[in-house]
Structure 1
Amino acid sequence: MESLSLAEELVLLSYDDSGTATVASPELDYAVAGAVLCDLAVGGQIAIDADGRVLADDNPTGGNPADDSQADDDPAGGYAPGGAPGRGHGRELLDQVRTRIQAEPGRATRDWVVDLSHGVVDEVLDGLVASGVLRRERDRVLWVLPRTRFAPPDGVEPPAETETRRRLAAAERGAGPVGPRTAALACLLNALDVPDVGAARPSDARHRPPAVLGPAAWPIAATTDVVDGYRATVARSVFTATDVATGS
């Protein structure tokens, strides 16, 4: 059974069952870009050098099961041993990003998070639609404004999303060790404040993030920095506008 990539899991958890996003752009875009980097890092496809530059591995392992917990190795919800995550288009996205990194060595992780964020959510959604996990629905709000929703085909939570929530819940209960993919997903959900995921903070990831995240630690740090930086910029803009409006 093919497993979802972290980007696919994150997008599923960021949309409600009506097909509406619960996280606004560009924060979701940054987090999904970070999720792509996390999958590549955990799979041994990319690494970071001593100067903080991202490099593609010339001899990728295609995934190292020793880096993940048993829960993450479950093909229904994690990194399949010896294989790459992603369903069709999701796997192609990982391959495309790795090829780009290989062609542009020496760029900082933060730069890649920002660069890859452009259009990445749309790419992931297209892949989920193509694989039948979601359905694209187009309608109009008040018969005027066009709207596109991405809802489950039968109106209920997709089985793939249910499996992801199960994995997060097991981590929260402390039911076995927490692998780097599950810990990375939890950290991304925390950074976005995604509502109602059921288990946003696996205990191991909360108390010992560097050890649990493993190769995903540096993409998570960069992604969190980008999201926090964007929020700080928005907050400063709001304060400035308020000061101007009030004459203070």
Structure 2
Amino acid sequence: MLIAEDLLLLLYDDETGKPIAGSPGLDYALAGAVLIELTLLGKIDITTAGDGVKPGRLKVLDPSPTGDAILDERLAFIADKPGKRPKDRIGRLSKKLRDRLLMQLAGRGVLQADEDKVLGLFPVTRWPAKDARHEAEVRTALDSALKVGTTPNERTGALIALLSALNVVPKVVTDAVDKKALKQRAKQLADSDWAADAVKKAVTEMQAAVTATIIVASTAATAS
């Protein structure tokens, strides 16, 4: 499973098949998850001042295919125009990403595509859980880190950072008594050293990029 797939499972209600996070934040977070995955695979990195170029830019380390079509398409896009800041690429990388991931999960039998119509007129697709075993494992790892206090692995830490950026941790971990403490724990983990430097740097950049693009989108929507 991709980190983006795990994130999507957490952000869709198992019963109703509806997202619990709004757009475009959810879509930007999915794009951030893809970039983190590519970093974990050693395909991309974030430049630093010592690289001889502007810091905080995406750079490709290995353009060879990963074997996953969704990752490979995004990797090719980054390779075609390297040197861009993550926040400037998040929007383009998020295009049609959610639909592709949902269809992929449905194809594996993890989600079910339920066709319906709003007001009997407008077609809509709901995505309730069909096989929630993997999601249950992801949630157990989240609970361990957020409620028990264990140190998360890189994938779980990345999920927590993205959920924190979206400000939806209490919507995902719904049985926590102290929601404020839960959010503080998530932020603490997002900022702590639980991963290798390259991965932690990527997660920090993606978290900032997701937050920045949400703010820009919200400002534009308000202005219009």
Deviation at 1:29, TM superposition (A): 1.0
- Is 1:196 paired with 2:193? no
Please say if 1:111 is aligned against 2:115: no
Closer/same/farther in 2, CA of residues 175 and 115 from structure 1, 3 Å limit? same
Root mean square deviation, CA, Å: 2.7
Provide closer, same or farther for how the CA distance between residues 174 and 104 of structure 1 changes in structure 2, counting only shifts above 3 A. Answer: same
**Does the alignment pair 1:231 with 2:223?**
no
**Could you tell me the TM-score, scaled by structure 2's length?**
0.79
Establish whether residue 177 from structure 1 lines up as the match of residue 151 from structure 2. Answer: yes
Q: Structure 1 residues 29 and 207, CA, compared in 2 at 3 Å: closer, same or farther?
A: closer
1:135 aligned partner: 112
1:10 equivalent to 2:7? Answer: yes
Q: Deviation at 1:210?
A: 5.3
Number of residue pairs matched? 204
Tell me whether 38-47 or 196-205 shows the greater mean CA deviation. Answer: 196-205
Compared with structure 1, are the counterparts of its residues 189 and 207 closer, same or farther at alpha carbon in structure 2 (3 Å cutoff)? closer
Q: Does 1:54 align with 2:71?
A: no
Matches within 5 A, 1:68-87: none
TM-superposed CA distance for 1:226, in Å, is 1.2
Which residue number in structure 2 is paired with residue 209 of structure 1? 191
CA distance in 2, matches of 1:151, 1:144: 21
Any stretches of 5+ residues in structure 2 without a counterpart?
49-53, 177-181
Structure-2 separation of matches of 1:27 and 1:117? 10
Q: Is the 8 Å Cα contact of residues 11 and 21 (structure 2) preserved in structure 1?
A: yes
- Retained in 1: the 8 A contact 2:157–2:190? no
Contact 1:171 1:202 in 2 (8 A): no
**How far apart, in 2, do the equivalents of 1:227 and 1:16 lie?**
22
Change (3 A) 1:141 1:111: same
Q: Partners of 1:49 and 1:132 in 2: how far apart?
A: 39
Pair 1:161 & 2:143 matched: no
Contact residue 31 and residue 94 of structure 2 kept, 8 A: yes
**How far apart are the structure 1 equivalents of 2:27 and 2:190?**
26
219 and 193 in structure 1: CA distance in 2 versus 1, 3 angstrom threshold: closer
User: Which amino acid in structure 2 is aligned with residue 133 of structure 1?
Assistant: V
Q: Which has the larger radius of gyration?
A: 1
- In structure 2, do the counterparts of structure 1 residues 130 and 208 end up closer, same or farther at CA, with 3 Å as the change threshold? closer
Residue 51 of structure 2 is matched in structure 1 by none
Q: Deviation of residue 150 (structure 1)?
A: 0.8
Deviates more, 1:168-177 or 1:109-118: 168-177
Shift of 1:127: 0.7
CA distance in 2, matches of 1:59, 1:136: 33
8 Å CA contact retained: 1:39, 1:216: no
Contact 1:135 1:151 in 2 (8 A): yes
Q: Tell me, yes or no, if the aligned pair for 1:180 and 1:216 is still in contact at 8 Å.
A: no
Shift of 1:188: 1.4
CA distance in 1, matches of 2:33, 2:189: 21
Q: Which residue of structure 2 lines up, in the alignment, with residue 70 of structure 1?
A: none
Q: Which moved more, 1:42-51 or 1:132-141?
A: 42-51
Q: TM-score, normalised by structure 1?
A: 0.72
Q: From the superposition, tell whether residues 106 and 20 of structure 1 become closer, same or farther in structure 2 (CA, over 3 Å).
A: same
1:78-110 per-position Cα deviation (integer Å, ceiling 9, x unaligned)? xxxxxx7xxx8xx32112212222222212211
Compute the displacement of 1:21 (Å).
1.5
Shift of the alpha carbon at 1:202? Answer: 8.1
Superposed CA deviations along residues 173-229 of structure 1, whole A, max 9, x for unmatched, are: 345322332222112112223353117658375166153351422222212221233
